[in-house]
Structure 1
């Protein structure tokens, strides 16, 4: 199981362009299709990951690996996401300076932007679908987005307010 986790997350790290949220559909597809986690379990881990500091892809890999294989699984999955991108970055750093002004390299990176946007939008759609969220459930995320984009509220304050609101909600629910 540890080898499968390492290979899976190395593959994801190797072929994910855009990092961060772009890895979500790839991890979800592989983990859920192997029945290692359900959609609901995956999105619970995703919610936890979003509140953690650090590299998103490594954090989600570590949590998924931990859920599947304990501490060793978490370490192996996290290492899997780190090794391939690290090697690629070292390789690019060695040679990119020669090609950074090449028109084909510039066009290739520009062509990848819409793909990354789609990879980020897909898990948002799936989270809404899996959790059967309607307009009522989307009011708070929409309000947070509006506060950040149009009123310059720091995402830190949004996260703190969300944590305090969640604690208050569950305390009042008791």
Structure 2
């Protein structure tokens, strides 16, 4: 029964999300927590792992959630549910691409959806940020996670002309996290 529930939940998420993995995040958060499948902190951990493993972000999250809840069958059902809507939609779009290409209605719809996708990604960033930076309230904002995030933002947004590779930033962040873990008072 949980496998069917995972499939239906992630199928719905995949069907109603425009804009890729990050736009799926608010729906994943809402559905996973509405079902009581895991806490916000557990989901943030899965998001972190999904970010650091190869493959599409939303597929990784769905796979990890499914595996946590129902092992390999759960992982397969959740992954299939997340991927199947996109696959079916792409088949339809490919079939009728020539007719859609110059349609003012389709062009207008896509123009209207772009700002919504940005808003959904921003909402997901705020939600995940609250869980990471302030799980116990505002006093947690003074610590390592905020400083690390701001430093990486500055490196990526303003120093890209220096050709600082994202892998170097990921490795540096991991090393700083390990050091912060050892230096944190018990």
Give TM-score, length-normalised by structure 1: 0.92
Question: How do residues 24-173 of structure 1 correspond to structure 2 at under 5 angstroms?
Answer: 24-131=25-132, 132=134, 134=141, 136=143, 137-152=145-160, 153-173=164-184
> Structure 1 residue 87: deviation in Å?
0.7
Q: Cα RMSD between the aligned structures?
A: 1.6
What secondary structure is seen at the aligned counterpart in 1 of 2:141?
A: coil
What secondary structure is seen at the aligned counterpart in 2 of 1:16?
A: coil
Distance (Å, rounded) in 2 between the aligned partners of 1:19 and 1:90:
17
Structure 1 regions of 5+ residues with no counterpart? none
Distance (Å, rounded) in 2 between the aligned partners of 1:146 and 1:101:
40
> Structure 1 residue 105: deviation in Å?
1.2
Structure 2 regions of 5+ residues with no counterpart? 135-139
Distance (Å, rounded) in 1 between the aligned partners of 2:168 and 2:107:
37
Give TM-score, length-normalised by structure 2: 0.87
Of 53-62 and 126-135, deviating more is: 126-135
Runs of 4+ in structure 1 displaced over 6 angstroms?
A: none
* Deviation sequence 1:66-106 (CA, Å, 0-9, x none): 11111211111111111110010111111122221222211
